[in-house]
Structure 1
Amino acid sequence: MGRVTAGVTDRRRPSRSVAARVGFVSTDGYILAFRRHFGQTPGAYVRSSLDRSA
């Protein structure tokens, strides 16, 4: 999941692009797996990352 977090923190890259890059066929499947692993959606993860760095 390290590659996932690296891709997701680039706000210019949409979830569908990150999903395809890390091998998911569906964006929904990627978001579900991300939420199960990290406890939040990719968008929430990015927002919380930005809050921590500010």
Structure 2
Amino acid sequence: MIAMTSFDTEAVTLDAVNAGAPAFLAQDSSPDEIVSAIRAVAAGEDALSPRAARTVMAR
């Protein structure tokens, strides 16, 4: 599952990650970022937007 949202607040990001979403992208992600996330998830990896990664790492 790839979570995409226009509400990439700290609470929404953490809720998605805590619910098990392996990928979290902002709605304004580039097509390249979306393709990269799809490939990562298909390979069993996680994919977070830079802002989401900073939010998760701060916790």
Bigger fraction of residues in strand: 2
- Normalising to structure 1: TM-score of the pair? 0.31
More relative contact order in 1 or in 2 (CA 8 Å, sep 6+)? 2
- Normalising to structure 2: TM-score of the pair? 0.30
